Amino acid sequence: MAKRDYYEILGISKDADEKEIKASFRKLAKQYHPDLNPDNKEAEAKFKEVNEAYEVLSDPDKKAKYDQFGHAAFDQNSGFGGGAGFNDFGDIFGDIFGDFFGGGFSGARTQRTGPKAGSDLKIKLDIDFEEAAFGTKKEIKINRIEKCHVCDGSGAKTGTSKKTCPTCNGSGNIRTVQRTPFGQFASTKTCTTCGGTGEVVEEPCTTCSGTGKEKKSRKLSINIPAGVDTGSVIPLRGEGNHGERGGPPGDLYVYLNVRPHEIFERDGNDVWCEIPISFTRAALGGSIQVPTIEGKVKYEVPEGTQTGTVFRLKNKGIKNLRGAGKGDQYVRVKIEVPKKLTDKQKSLLHEFASEMGETIDKEDKKGFFGKMKDAFKD
């Protein structure tokens, strides 16, 4: 049967660029991949056909030869290919053609697929402001992949065991031979029947359906150090998904999110808060109680303190996560104006205003902009 045109196989035109060739190949390779089409001989044939077309059209030199001579460019009997066999080129061109054809030569040593590390897991954990500042201990719940507790990860039913793969005879690899312009070359690929393990399960475990894995819910205790903040990540080594074929487990990464506080705000290791004080306290000064993350402390407000004044409480901030020392606390003052006054309080304020040389006129309703207009009317 005559070979189909490579451009027709990939569904592209002859002037398709490298990006179009690759995109078409990926789409078709996924569509006909043996793992997605088990026991489908037609899909397997198309998968090989797509791979062969891409192998030629993705290589500029091979593509140029194909455009000029067609399939004859890669037929050693057509006069274009070399007459040398694999044994003549194995030592000289081994590395080069190993890259071209995706595997080693027939003389190369092949191995079964070895241990595979488990994948990592990530979770988000919300904590309170105080827990971030002082550290805490939390219990978290995760779902992870572990080896089946019934078959101990083998995938085989209790009382049975895995058998040697009949496709690759236990090697984990399949040897294929290809004809090229340089002669005949052999390459090895991972066996699609056993996935490179060299073994197959004839009677699968009823608990894990032969996968050797099961999902488990676990509770873990985690120590959160003082000084963490939103965005801090705590790694738990070996607490991720379990590995395959004796591979090590992955890790678990806990991403922290600190809930906002009702009073305090954080800036690095420093803490900020705003406290209201009365007009008289601001004017006369005196002692006030200031809230900190460690409790209330006494602070002497100087007389004449203005709204927006910031004072500092040294070492009353958050512990440095990666070193010694602590941040500071900054307190911003906000002067409160009473909304309701008794007649006596009003009288005293009028007397105070008079002492300050200030006239309080209830009838003056022009306001600031009205007064400005009067001032510049001439």
b/e map 241-265, b = 16+ CB within 10 Å: bbbbeeeebbbbebebebeebeebe
Distance between CA 16 and CA 57 in Å, rounded? 10
CB 286 within 8 A of CB 267: no
The DSSP secondary structure of 66-124, one letter per residue, reads HHHHGGGGG-TTTTSS----HHHHHHHHHHHHHHHHTS--TTS-------BPPPPEEEE
- From the list 173, 176, 199, 194, the residue with the least C-alpha distance to 186 is 176
Distance between CA 285 and CA 113 in Å, rounded? 78
Q: How many CA atoms lie within 13 A of 143 on its CB side?
A: 2
The annotation status of 273 as a binding-site residue, yes or no, is: no
Strand partners, 180: 183
Alpha carbon 359 to chain centroid, angstroms: 67
Q: How many CB atoms lie within 10 A of CB 53?
A: 25
Helix axes 18-32, 41-57, angle to 10 degrees: 160
Residues annotated within the binding site are 148, 151, 165, 168, 191, 194, 205, 208
Residues annotated within the binding site for Zn(2+) are 148, 151, 165, 168, 191, 194, 205, 208
